[in-house]
Copies of this chain bind each other. A is one copy, B any other.
């Protein structure tokens, strides 16, 4: 019964190509938002509304009828990254539902909606107060959420946030994430003349933007993976360096310049550019990395060449205390649902929402995700493991119960 309901509800969401990075998909994003709003109303949430950016709305609903109890802000996102059209035709094979967004993040967010719906149907009430907030822009950095928490922080007032957008270590291995890396995107554009020059005539005479770019980027990245930006590692603890999921990283994510086709063209390119992605460990701040990078890129360029640096997507790392009452409540809920105490890990990824919640709402997040490592998130073939989602539904309900216990403890104290 629960499986067929889960499959039907998830397939309906996966079938909508709610790709936030594609301007041609705005109508699909909006359609997905309206469907979710309908579902929030159906399960019994109040004040259901679309908030933020009308093109890619935040979907909100609440149940705040447990005075004196804690309030949990359940966050998920219904936008997805781009995929071939076939990826939006959901299908079930064995224990898996295939399709873009099945695992990131439509399946996990659905766990919470189903858990809430079941409780309200069964008990007519929830053990704690709940706000549900579903983001339509997570994959593009959650700009509307950023504005919302900045401008109307009271609208999201809560005691704890629950975010299910991380991975488990494997099937049957529940996982609580207590750290996320920070992030900074950078773009370096080196410009020379307004047109390509003949390298026979001008090679060795006129400075080459592509040479300058390679020299500059090459001075940032060591072949062994170390980052050579002076001062970059300051403040990073040595045990974080030993942790692959917490270690800072610098990846060249894109390179473009000059002749890129087959054959050979003897030119000094007019311009060359690189895209860089920094991942930051605890102790690092994007603002400081930006300043270090700016200083490094300000080194004098050869005559006739200009170096332009732009940065975006700055996001500090997130460090949570795995021993906090909320994290321990989540660990108990996960253990109850999966029959095994959760692993406590740090993740290499970066999610904006928990950072915004901490920085602007002073709100601690619980990162209890239901994705598996081989779900193929962002890949051509994404899927989700349905039995794991079913455990996720149980875990979500148990977490509300555990929060209710915490509420009583708080009242008693």
A-to-B contact residues, CB < 8 Å: 21, 181, 183, 185, 195, 198-205, 207-208, 210-225, 244, 247-260, 263-269, 272, 274-275, 277, 279, 299, 301-302, 312-313, 347-350, 377-379
In the bound complex, residues from chain B placing their C-beta under 8 Å from that of A195 are: 379
- Return chain B residues, CB-CB under 8 Å to A249: 199, 203-205
**Which residues in B have their C-beta under 8 angstroms from that of A185?**
264, 266
Cross-chain contact A251 with B210 (CB below 8 angstroms): yes
Quick one: which of B198, B211, B254, B347 contacts A260, CB cutoff 8 A? B254
A317 to chain B, nearest CB (A): 12
Residues of B within 8 A of A181 (CB): 200
Which residue of B201, B219, B275, B349 is within 8 Å of A200 (Cβ)?
B349
Q: Do A210 and B272 contact each other (CB < 8 Å), given the known contacts A247-B204, A302-B223?
A: no
Contact B259 A257 (CB under 8 A): no
Nearest 7 CB-CB pairings of A with B: A218-B218, A204-B249, A200-B349, A203-B249, A210-B252, A254-B259, A255-B257
The CA-CA distance from A252 to B222 in the complex, in Å, is 20
Name the CB-closest residue of B to A185: B264
Say yes or no: B257 contacts A254, CB within 8 Å: yes
Residue in chain B with minimal CB distance to A256? B260
| Cα of A200 to Cα of B269 in the assembled complex, Å | 32
> Which residues from chain B contact A210 at a C-beta distance below 8 Å?
251-255
CA–CA, A254 and B254, complex, Å: 13
Partner of A215, one of B201, B204, B222, B272: B222
Cross-interface CB contact of A258 among B217, B220, B221, B255, cutoff 8 Å = B255
Shortest C-beta distance, A210 to chain B (Å), equals 4
A254–B265 CB distance below 8 A: yes
For A244, the chain B residues whose CB sits under 8 A away are: 204-205
Decide: B253 and A267 in contact? CB cutoff 8 A: yes
Bound complex: CA A215 to CA B247 (Å): 20
Q: Which of B203, B217, B267, B277 contacts A348 (CB 8 A)?
A: B203
Given A204-B225, A205-B244, 10 more pairs with CB closer than 8 A = A198-B377, A200-B350, A201-B348, A202-B348, A203-B277, A225-B302, A253-B268, A254-B265, A255-B260, A256-B257
Interface centre among A21, A218, A224, A257 (most CB of B within 10 A): A218
Contact A275 B268, beta carbon cutoff 8 Å: no
Chain B neighbourhood of A201, CB < 8 A: 347-349
